[in-house]
Structure formats: structure tokens, C-alpha cells
Amino acid sequence: MSNLALFPIVIPLIFAAILMLFPKKLHMQRTVAIAGVVTTLASALILFSKVNSDGVQAVTLGSWPAPFGISMVSDMFSVLLVLSSTIVTMFVLFYSIPTIGVKREQSFYYPAVLFLMTGVNGAFTTGDIFNLFVFIEVLLMASYALIVHGGEKPQLRESIKYLLVNIISSALFVSAVAYLYSVTGTLNMADLAVKIPQIEAVGILTVIAVLFLVVFGFKAAIFPLYFWLPGSYFAPPMAILALFGALLTKVGVYAIMRTYTLFFTMNTGFTHELLAIIAILTILAGCVGALAYFDVKKIIIYNIIIAVGVILFGISQMNAAGVEGSIFYLVHDMLIKAALFLLVGILTVIFGTSDLRKMGGLIKNYPVFGWTFLVAAFGLAGIPPLSGFPGKLLIVQGGFEGTHFWGSLVILATSLLVLLSVVRIFIYAFWGEPARIKTINRKHYLSMFVPTAILVALTVVLGAGAELFMPFISDAGEVLLNPSLYIDAVLKE
Amino acid sequence: MEIVMSVAIGLLFMAAVYLMLSKSLIRIIIGTGLLSHGAHLLLLTMGGLGGTAPPVVADGVSAAEYADPLPQALILTAIVISFAVTSFFLVLAYRAYQELGTDNMELLRGTEDYE
């Protein structure tokens, strides 16, 4: 039995603990933080190749037999997400060094980022439902610290709401776990997947499934529960916003995908139908917001909500195309959302405002930046050679193969609105009459632009080389569609 | 006994929801406290209230007499987490009161930085 699955969780934890010791030493903080993220990335890559060659990696902590200890399970799905979240954190870290400001850097900024990473990687890897709650609390606690970090007035005001919503959803999570425990008598996800089909009281399990949808829906910002996200994500600085936008809602999406494929499969006629309807409503609500605002941050924030809807629609179909599409789109969306937030962050630095109407004519001064932004925008909308295309294609195919062809039509139609919302940024900011811009140091600009451009290049590779990545995606999809693979790996003894 | 506990938990949730919908921030925080009390008691109740002996291995106690140890461990974990979050929330409320000069949630609406 190998402990490899734990490394992407333990390494950032250790580095974060070390970083707490010398908050004021700027160079040390930066060096150790980067070392931590790079080591985590290396361990995630090793884990990835291990899972790819040997199948699902399961560790039950403390050598207890499987349902009694806490299991950590790394299948292809979770390792792909661990890998992409680590990549995103690395680039956001590079971007935050020039932008976040010395004062913030000296008050435990890097430890908070690494603790966030611990929580995110842990939530993706865990095989125990209560342990999932604990890891979600770890990442939420780090995110509370980050959202209010710096203590400006809008941050204080918005973080109150963010905290309150998450406290409520955490209490609901505890209640949902309590109900599930009273029905099944176990907390291990693989064991739950074995026990739930044996229970005849489908009604109570359906109620619990919907309760879990509410709980994770709060985290993932699905249709009626997304109200907190636009305001809260507007407050923190751009590097933190990129981290949140790329990672936090995706943990909720991952949890829905995991629970709805692994154990809540007893009444798909109701639960997955509900999921499909909510997903479509989420997309529509996101589109309304993305088109309504003239604020670059708001536009991308509402695009997070749209992507959550698209991914959940794919998973609600429960067929190979839909599930694989969701996984591809989830990985793509983590990378592209981080890239777009970082690009928009450079825009706001250059213009000194995030209002589109005060921008214009940037293509003359920053042509490379402009075309990079256009590539990222097309990638988000899903123009064929780029990374948004294969995922969306599979999701739409899944919808047509399943019973929800109308959902696929909505996704196709709203892709145009997504394209419109981001191309609007391009038209306003890069074309037209040049607006007044701030003179920024060439070196400062490059230190922000280079990590962002590499991230955009990565998404292009993901899209153009989709053939290369598809075997991994279908591996991941196979585990989701055949829970027995997952169950056998955990309960093999 | 489980029925009585369920009703008590329901009342706690009701009071928590009522308090969290009020305007004053401190009442909201009290509401979150009641909410986590309710959730913890629910965890205890849903684990089953059977068992007469505390879950500590002792001589002369048969396995059936022990209370279920798992919900107790879960509650202990949930308690420290909600304690940490509540203390963070209280400090945040204090800072927000200092900086923004109000604890009325009605006045904390919207953001003046855009539109």
C-alpha cells in the first residue's frame, strides 16, 4: 500500500506550517511558498502517473481495515482535479508576487494560500463523507482569511455575507451527514455505495440526496443558491479572486459529481432530473448576469456560474459522453477561469478601473496581451481548436443521447451569450478610441503577463491536444460510471 | 427519547432561522450558534440514543451497553470547527463595526464601487 495519494495534501500543509514561522521575511516567504507549490505539483504528477499505470490508489489511514478507518482514494478523476488545482495555484502564486502588495504578503498571505490548497486537494482525494466536511472546512477557513485579507471596507462587508452563507451550509452538511449515518450506519464512501442500494426506503434516501444537493449547491453556486457569489467574489484582490473562481466552486461541483455518481443512484428519475433542470436554470441565471454588467470582474464572475451549470448538466445525464464531457469541461474551466481572472486583473491595473465604459483602444499599446485575451475568450466560449470545445461537445452529445435534448439546445444557445459577454470585454477594452491608461513599468507588466500567458497557452494545449488527454478523461469517466471499480479498490481486503 | 430530541432540535433550528433573518449582526451570530447546537444534537440523536455505558472500555460491560462512539467523535470535531468559525466571525463583526460604523445588515447591502 502506497501513501502517494496523501502527498499533495501533506506537502502544502507542511510548507504552510513552516511559512507561519517567519511572516516578515519577504524573500523567504516567496521562495518557500514557490518551493511548496512546485513540490506539490511534482508529487501530483507522480501520483498521476501511478494512477494511470496501476489504477485507483486507495489508502486507509492507520492500517485499519477499509470501512473503519478514513480512506483516501485517488482515482483518475480526483487526480486530474488535484493536478489542475495545483497548476492553477502555482500560476496564481506567481501572479500574486508582483500584485498582492508587501503588506499583505507579510501577514500570512502565502500560508493561507497553501492551506487553501491543502483543503482543496484533500477534498478531491478523500473517501469519507465526514472527512470531506472537514477538508471543506479547512479550505473555507483559509478562504475566510483570504477574502478579508487586507481588511478594506468592501472586503469586510462582503466577507460577513460569505461567512454566514458558508456557516449555514456547513450546518446543513453536518445534518445531512447525520441523516445519512442514521440510515446507513457508515461514513466511508465506498461502503455507502455498497449499503445504499440494499436499503429499501428509497424515499428517505431521495430526501438526503436533495439535502446534499442543497449543501453542495451552496458551495458550487447553483441556481437558487448562487446569490452570495457575485457580491462576495467582487471584494477580494484579483489574485485571490482567481484562486476562488478557479477552485472553490469546483469543490462543490466535484462533491455533487461524486455523490450523484457513487451513491445517490437509487432514484435517478427524480434526483438527476432535478439536477438537469437546476443546471439549465443555473446557466440561464449566469447568462443574465454576464450580459447585464459593464464591469469586467462581474462578467467573469457570472461566467463561473454558467460553467457550473454546464458541468452539472453533463453529469445529470449519467451516460459516457455526458460524464466524460463534464470531467473535461471541469478541468478546462479551472484553468480558463484562472487565466481569465488574471487577464482581467491586468486590464484593471492598466486602466485603473474595472468599468468597461472607461476602457478602450488598448490593442495599439498591448497587442500581444490583446490577442492572448481573445484566445482565452474563444477558449471559454468553446471555439473548436480551443479547450472549451471538446468538453461542451461531449456534454451536448450526452444531452442528445439522454432524455434532455432541450438542455443541449440551451447549452448551445447560451454558448453564444458566453462568447458575447467576453468578446464585449475585448471590443470595449481593446478596440475603439484609446482611453487614458496608467503608465506601468514594463518589468511589472511582464511579471504579471508571463504567468498568465503560460496559463492561456496551457489551455490551448489542452484543447488542441484533446486527443492526447482523452484516454485519461475516459479513464476518469469509467470510474464514475462503474462505481464497482471504486468500491473494489477501497474494500479490496 | 429520540422524538423529544427531534422536537427540541427543530425548535433550535427554528430559533436559529428566525435570528439569522434579523437585521442586527450580533443576533445573526447568536443564530449561527444555535444552528450549530442544533446540528450537533442532531448528529447525537441520529446516531441513536441507545447504550447506557460511556464509550470507554471497562471491565464487566458488554459491547451492547456502550453508547455509539462514532457520533461523539464527529460532534467533537464539528464543535471545534464551529468554535473556530464563530470566533473568526465575532472578530470579523467587531472589525466591521469599527470600520463601517454599523451592525445593521440593511445598511451593509450592495457595493458602492460599481453602477
Predicted ipTM of the assembly: 0.94
Instruction: Count CB-CB contacts under 10 A for residue B1.
Output: 8
- With contact defined as beta carbons under 8 Å apart, do A375 and A419 qualify? no
CB-based contact (8 Å) between B30 and chain A? no
B29, three cell numbers: 451570530
- With contact defined as beta carbons under 8 Å apart, do B89 and B103 qualify? no
The CA distances from residue A296 to A47, A429, A475, in Å, are 37, 10, 37
Alpha helices in chain B (DSSP H): 2-20, 25-46, 69-100
Which residues of chain B are within 8 Å of residue A187 when distances are taken between CB atoms?
70
Q: Which of A164, A181, A354 sits opposite B28 (nearest CB)?
A: A164
CB-based contact (8 Å) between A288 and chain B? no
pLDDT of residue A64: 87
Q: How confident is the model at residue B112 (pLDDT cuts 50, 70, 90)?
A: low
Which residues of chain B are within 8 Å of residue A168 when distances are taken between CB atoms?
20, 32, 35
How far B48 CA sits from the closest chain A CA (Å)? 7
For A127, which DSSP code? -
CB < 8 Å from B in window 14-43 of A: none
CB-based contact (8 Å) between B95 and chain A? yes
| Amino acid making up residue B76 | L
Residue A221: domain span: 4-491
Q: Which residues contact B72 (CB under 8 A, 6 or more apart)?
A: B44, B47, B55
Which residues of chain A are within 8 Å of residue B46 when distances are taken between CB atoms?
178-179, 181-182
The CA distances from residue B39 to A81, A97, A111, A218, in Å, are 31, 41, 30, 17
| Amino acid making up residue A231 | G
CB-based contact (8 Å) between A178 and chain B? yes
Q: Does the global pTM surpass 0.90? A: yes
* Burial of residue A198, with CB atoms counted within 10 A of its CB: 0-12 exposed, 13-18 middle, 19 or more buried: exposed
Instruction: Count CB-CB contacts under 10 A for residue A232.
Output: 25
Going residue by residue through chain A, which has 493 residues, state the pLDDT in tens, using 9 for 90 and above.
578 899 999 999 999 999 999 999 999 999 999 999 999 999 999 999 999 999 899 998 888 888 899 999 999 999 999 999 999 999 999 999 999 989 999 999 999 999 999 999 999 999 999 999 999 999 999 999 999 998 888 899 899 999 999 999 999 999 999 999 999 999 999 999 999 999 888 899 999 999 999 999 999 999 899 999 998 999 999 999 999 999 999 999 999 999 999 989 888 899 999 999 999 999 999 999 999 999 999 999 999 999 999 999 999 999 999 999 999 999 999 999 999 999 999 999 999 888 888 888 888 889 999 999 999 999 999 998 899 999 999 999 999 998 889 999 999 999 999 999 999 999 999 988 888 888 888 899 999 999 999 999 999 999 999 899 999 999 999 999 999 999 999 987 5
CB-based contact (8 Å) between A158 and chain B? yes
The CATH code belonging to domain B2-50+67-100 is 1.10.287
* Burial of residue A9, with CB atoms counted within 10 A of its CB: 0-12 exposed, 13-18 middle, 19 or more buried: buried
- With contact defined as beta carbons under 8 Å apart, do A179 and B71 qualify? no
Residue with cell 478596440: A431
Q: Which residues contact A484 (CB under 8 A, 6 or more apart)?
A: none
Rounded-to-integer distance, Cα A307 and Cα A329, Å: 8
3-class SS of residue A71 = strand
Exposure letters A100-109 (e unless 16+ CB within 10 A, then b): beeebbeebb
Domain count along chain A: 1
3-class SS of residue A59 = strand
Q: Which residues contact B54 (CB under 8 A, 6 or more apart)?
A: B66, B67
* Burial of residue B64, with CB atoms counted within 10 A of its CB: 0-12 exposed, 13-18 middle, 19 or more buried: exposed
Rounded-to-integer distance, Cα A383 and Cα A388, Å: 7
CB-based contact (8 Å) between A210 and chain B? no
